[in-house]
Amino acid sequence: MDRRRLIAFAALGLLALTPAAAWAGEEGGEKKKKKTGGATYLPIDPVTATLVRGDGRRGVLTVETGLDVPDNALRTRAEQLLPRIRAAYVQVVNIYGAGLSPGTPPNAEYLSRELQRQTDIALGRPGAHLLLGTILAN
């Protein structure tokens, strides 16, 4: 069998398996981003920093976070300031990762307290609750 025909049949098979809803256009011409965690949840991209591992090599500290903002006005402000909030998170995690002793596990309480403080500073008032996901030192 011709190799090009085999590839074409495989591609057609994949198209047949794809749900029709995936090919349907969005109503109103807008793409809606799926948000997990409810209407008040704002996901934030994971923040990474370098650290020194127990064997002396460099490692990576990854912190996954999100915000729960029940107040509509504050949520709108948080969405607008999300790049600034994430930049503050990056700075905190980088400083923490640089000072972390080799072989020591990350302190979730300290990170939570500092990231919540940076959130309140960036938004100008309390009201947004920091949600910590995974803290991974690799």
Quick: pLDDT tens for 58-103.
999 999 999 999 999 999 999 999 999 999 999 999 999 999 998 8
Predicted confidence at residue 35, as pLDDT, reads 58
* Cα–Cα distance measured from residue 123 to residue 46, given in angstroms and rounded to the nearest whole number: 20
Is 20 contained in some domain? Answer: no
Cα 26 from Cα 93, distance rounded (Å): 38
Domain with 93, as residue range(s), is: 41-137
Q: Encode pLDDT of 21-46 as tens digits.
A: 454 544 554 555 545 778 999 999 99
Q: Tell me whether residue 19 is in a domain.
A: no
The β-bridge partners of 130 are 67
Residue the block writes with tokens 């591992």: 53
d(CA 16, CA 36): 28
- Residue 71 belongs to domain with CATH number: 3.30.479
What pLDDT does residue 16 have?
A: 56
Note whether residue 52 is domain-resident. Answer: yes
Give the separation between CA 74 and CA 124, rounded to whole angstroms.
Answer: 10
Tokens of 86: 């994430």
Residue 49 in domain: yes
Residue 108 has pLDDT above 90, yes or no: yes
Name 12's Cβ contacts closer than 8 Å, sequence gap at least 6. Answer: none
Q: Which of 49, 46, 56, 48 is nearest to 98 (CA)?
A: 49
Domain annotation covers residue 97: yes
Local confidence band at 2 (pLDDT 50, 70, 90 cut-offs): confident
Number of domains, the chain: 1
Tell whether the model's pLDDT for residue 50 goes beyond 90.
yes
Q: Does the structure show a pLDDT above 70 at 54? A: yes
